């Protein structure tokens, strides 16, 4: 399995434009929540808990994140648990409300993602490697962590591989990364 640095650097290589990264701060949480909402039905009571495909998928994602990195994995687990709580509340609504939220968040989230990649001038990472679908949410959380001045060594390692974040237009073809 690739390391956290390997995964985030590979993903970051597809996300060096600040505008694209900004769209990911909106689009990815929408998509993750949409998946949790849509997978929250059917739900089966198991004692004091409710089991659904969303719970199982979220648990698997949390295990993956925790294996990659304990601190970021714990943070992702907390965020995903919050999403699961909201998803269960939306899934408890009438079918039309549940589907409207789930499908609406999913479609709008992906539109925002693709707009970001127009700015980037590059296809989304998952097109070349499906693991990008699970690394995307971790990338967004890591970017917040980096913006707070935390995990500086990890941030530096990622930028040394993917290059610095750019503001605005892409560098001309053939130019070296800075």
pLDDT tens for 153-174 read: 999 999 999 988 888 655 544 4
pLDDT tens for 93-112 read: 999 999 999 999 999 999 99
Predicted pLDDT of residue 172: 43
Residue 178 counted as domain residue: no
Predicted pLDDT of residue 176: 44
Residue 173 counted as domain residue: no
Predicted pLDDT of residue 173: 46
Alpha-carbon distances, residue 106 vs 32, 78, 167 (angstroms) = 8, 21, 27
User: How many domains are there within the chain?
Assistant: 1
Residue 22 counted as domain residue: yes
Residue 40 counted as domain residue: yes
- From the list 71, 72, 73, 69, the residue with the least C-alpha distance to 1 is 69
- Which residue numbers in the chain have pLDDT < 70? 168-178
Residue 27 counted as domain residue: yes
Residue 170 counted as domain residue: no
Range of the domain at 28: 4-162
Residue 33 counted as domain residue: yes
Predicted pLDDT of residue 117: 86
Tell me the CB-side half-sphere exposure of residue 167, using CA atoms within 13 A: 0
E runs forming strands in the chain: 44-46, 49-51
DSSP string, 110-152: HHHHHHHHHHHTS--GGGT-TTHHHHHHHHHHHHHHHHTT--H
Chain centre distance of CA 52: 21
Residue 175 counted as domain residue: no
Q: What is the pTM of this model?
A: 0.89
């Amino acid at each position: 399995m690739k390391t956290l640095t390997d995964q985030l650097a590979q993903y970051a290589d597809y996300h060096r434009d600040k505008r694209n990264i900004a769209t990911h701060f909106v689009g990815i949480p929408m998509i993750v929540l949409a998946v949790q909402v849509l997978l929250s039905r059917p739900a089966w009571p198991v004692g004091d808990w409710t089991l659904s495909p969303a719970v199982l998928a979220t648990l698997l994602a949390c295990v993956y994140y925790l294996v990659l990195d304990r601190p970021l994995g714990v943070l992702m687990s907390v965020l995903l648990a919050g999403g699961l709580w909201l998803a269960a509340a939306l899934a408890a609504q009438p079918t039309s409300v549940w589907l409207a939220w789930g499908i609406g968040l999913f479609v709008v989230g992906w539109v925002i993602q693709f707009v970001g990649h127009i700015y980037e001038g590059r296809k989304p990472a998952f097109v070349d490697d499906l693991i990008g679908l699970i690394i995307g949410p971790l990338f967004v959380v890591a970017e917040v962590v980096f913006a707070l001045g935390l995990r500086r060594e990890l941030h530096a390692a990622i930028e040394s591989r993917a290059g610095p974040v750019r503001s605005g237009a892409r560098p001309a073809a053939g130019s070296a990364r800075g």
